[in-house]
Amino acid sequence: MNRRFSQSRRALLLVAALPFASLAQPARKTQNVILVMTDGLRWQEVFRGADAALMIKENDVGDPDALKKTYWRDTPQARREALMPFLWRTIAAGGQIYGNRDRHSEAYVTNGHNFSYPGYSETLCGFADPRIDSNKNVPNPNVTVLEWLNHKPAFRGKVAAFGAWNVIASAANGARGGFVANAGYDPLLAPPVTPEIALLNRVKADTRIWDDEPFDSFPFHTAMQYVKLHRPRVLFLSLGETDEWAHAGNYEEYLRSARRVDQFIEELWKTVQSMPQYRGTTTLIFLADHGRGEAPVEWKSHGEKIPDSKYIWMAMLGPDTAAQGERANVPAVTQSQVAATLAALLGEDYAAAVPNAGKRVADVLPR
């Protein structure tokens, strides 16, 4: 009798404790993830703002005084906000940003190559693959987190990738993975091809500056149209002008393209927050595929011969990510952690399925 009473009492206590356990471990709110990458944008500009030493005519700056009026401020904090106001006023303020080496926060690639395809593959797969050692436009031999998610019933047909650089479609492996991956000058043909998409396809084909990628405006607006039509749960968007203008040694356009990326992300974020499916249930991840060298010369390039170009930055904003702002004096994070972090935000354990992938960034999604 006493034993039965004791067991019943314990059961009642456990039931009573359930609401408190639920409060201690709040349910995950993220249902959608947007992953945005901008090619080769240095951590130096992201955290310090525009570099006065580079705003000179020798770097294709037509009017240095006018450029300084637009981007130069007395402090790094004011300069970086002038360059990327949405990143600093909204993403960093409401989420987390890593990679300010001046404050003992490092973010870096692990692939050792410090250039684009290895960086995109590391981001999307969660590990560096020594077979990916060039920028050749060949299919990724690895299954990306985008493919992995699209094979799950909850995400099938709800994954999409868009990129400026034509190699993005191969790096993401949309053809093999069965999801839309539109990049370079290829038209978006996924039905319905609305008049807006048809016009973007046509103008993109007619506007060629670089052989392998159009201006960022085209993949951005194409992705925006796709979001409005198809409501993907996972969206990958890669932009490329920051890298193109840096390689050209044009610091003025490099800064303008960074500012434009910030504006694009703001527009994308505000658009999805106006849509019931996404409002309050979407997490944004924003980073670069590689870094660049230091001023005054090496900022134009990157790669194995420029070791410091391994350093990147990454930022996250979403309903499950605590607003810890600019991180300082924290352990380093790596590009290889992005895939597992993206999946974990959606309630999926990518690290368990792919043991050689980096583990999720712990502070982005508390257990």
Output the DSSP codes for 121-133: HHHHHSS--TT--
Residue 145 has pLDDT above 60, yes or no: yes
d(CA 42, CA 44): 5
Residue 36 has pLDDT above 80, yes or no: yes
* DSSP one-letter code for 39: T
Residue 61 has pLDDT above 50, yes or no: yes
The whole domain housing 347 covers: 30-364
Determine the longest span between alpha carbons in the chain, in angstroms: 92
pLDDT, tens only, 148-173: 999 999 999 999 999 999 999 999 99
**Residue at 137 is within a domain:** yes
**Residue at 189 is within a domain:** yes
**Residue at 7 is within a domain:** no
Q: pTM higher than 0.85, yes or no?
A: yes
**Residue at 81 is within a domain:** yes
CA atoms within 13 A on the CB side of 103: 16
- DSSP lists the bridge partners of residue 183 as 163
Q: Where are the beta strands (DSSP E) in the chain?
A: 32-38, 96-98, 107-108, 159-163, 180-183, 234-239, 282-287, 314-317, 325-326, 333-334
Residue with tokens 């960086």: 119
d(CA 338, CA 358): 8
What mean pLDDT comes out for the span 325-347?
98
How much is the pLDDT for 199?
A: 98
**Residue at 350 is within a domain:** yes
Q: Please state whether the peptide bond connecting residue 187 to the residue before it is cis, i.e. omega within 30 degrees of 0.
A: no
Q: Please state whether the peptide bond connecting residue 153 to the residue before it is cis, i.e. omega within 30 degrees of 0.
A: no
**Residue at 23 is within a domain:** no
d(CA 349, CA 61): 47
Read off the pLDDT band of 27 (50, 70, 90): confident
Residue 8 has pLDDT above 80, yes or no: no
pLDDT, tens only, 107-142: 999 999 999 999 999 999 999 999 999 999 999 999
How much is the pLDDT for 85?
A: 98
Read off the pLDDT band of 26 (50, 70, 90): low
Residue 244 has pLDDT above 60, yes or no: yes
Read off the pLDDT band of 69 (50, 70, 90): very high
How much is the pLDDT for 366?
A: 79
How much is the pLDDT for 353?
A: 96
Instruction: Report the Cα 218 to chain-centroid distance in Å.
Output: 18
How much is the pLDDT for 13?
A: 46
d(CA 53, CA 235): 37
How much is the pLDDT for 127?
A: 98
Average pLDDT over all residues of the chain: 94
**Residue at 2 is within a domain:** no
**Residue at 16 is within a domain:** no
**Count of the separate structural domains present in the chain:** 1
d(CA 155, CA 153): 5
Residue 253: which CATH number? 3.40.720.10
What mean pLDDT comes out for the span 309-314?
98
296 C-beta neighbours (distance < 10 Å), count: 13
pLDDT, tens only, 185-239: 999 999 999 999 999 999 999 999 999 999 999 999 999 999 999 999 999 999 9
What mean pLDDT comes out for the span 21-46?
85
Q: Which two tokens stand for residue 67?
A: 């450029």
How much is the pLDDT for 30?
A: 98
